[in-house]
Amino acid sequence: MRERLNIHPDCEGFLFSYDAERDPAMPDSHWHAELELNLVVRGQVTYLSGGRRHRFDRRAMIWLFPGEEHQLVERSADAVLHVAVFRPGLVKRCAKGAHYRDLGKRRVEEGLLHTVLDPESFEFLRRTTELLLRESKWEDSVSRSERWGRPDVVFCHGDPEGLNAGLRHLLLLAWRCRGNGRAVESPPALHPSVRRALRLLEEDGEGSDGKALARACGVSPAYLSRVFAKEVGMPLARYRSVVRLRRFWRLMRGETRPAVTEAVFAAGFGSYAQFYKVFVREYGQGPRECLGERAGAASPISA
């Protein structure tokens, strides 16, 4: 799914900090026209990209190129990511010198590009991103949990000219720092049945039952369950619940903004109690903490 990023015309990109303790919602599998840089500041995160599962710890630097489908599927409770996004025009202007030409030539088919930074380079990049984050503005009016995918949310910055200069510096600095880190080989490709199961679960918001899903993937339910948990890193049943949660968030951020209970059932949950249990398990807090009065007024179960 293509994600159209709403960036203010004066800005050549944006930065934000993803904190698992405050940002419960995880984005769907998506791609965009902009170059994205992720820096794992704390904890551990897991991506699915290119039919592979990638798990990263602190000091990992990940490059997500234009058109590269990616999905954050798991994160530790303490995970913090610094995310920088660069418009194509900025990248083109930067990718001229001998050290930077590959910035404009990277092919998605080559796989997820990632490096484990040395401590000095990591601290330098962490401080640089934290300085640029100070005047990011979209968090002033929109709660973190409702930020993803909102068509009315536009990123802006208190000092666009300073931001643009900082983004250029960050882009060149991060690309040079790759040489000081340790390259990590891409993991093996996911089993074809797992890849098909992931696609079918994403296409079907409610999700098929285990037997039907396994039959569609051409394997037995026991085999699919076993290989899915091993390769994706979470049980199939839990992943199905995560897909429903993401669908719930999409509904809550849509233009119609349905009642919470309506979104719960439309997302495929059999009951509010089931939704509440899954929500707390994944986010460590109840819907009331994330949705405020909307959840409290609409929910038959108190947080």
pLDDT, position 143? 40
| CATH number of the domain that residue 234 is part of | 1.10.10.60
Please give the share of the chain, as a percent, with pLDDT higher than 90: 43
- What mean pLDDT is predicted for residues 56-77? 92
Higher pLDDT, 9 or 141: 9
pLDDT, position 134? 80
Residue with tokens 């949660």: 245
The residue from 140, 163, 183 where one domain ends is 183
Residue 4 in any domain: the answer is no
Question: 197-232 burial, b for 16+ CB within 10 Å, e for fewer?
Answer: bbeebbeebbbbeeeebbeebebebeebbebbbebb
211/134 same-domain check: no
pLDDT, position 4? 83
CB proximity list for 158: less than 8 A, separation 6 or greater: 135, 137
pLDDT, position 242? 86
241/110 same-domain check: no
Largest separation between any pair of C-alpha atoms in the chain: 61
Domain boundaries, position 269:
192-298
Residue 303 in any domain: the answer is no
Residue 243 in any domain: the answer is yes
- pLDDT higher than threshold 90 for residue 86: yes
Question: How do residues 178-233 score in pLDDT, each as one tens digit?
Answer: 877 776 677 888 999 999 999 898 876 445 678 899 999 999 999 999 999 999 98
The residue from 148, 183, 218 where one domain ends is 183
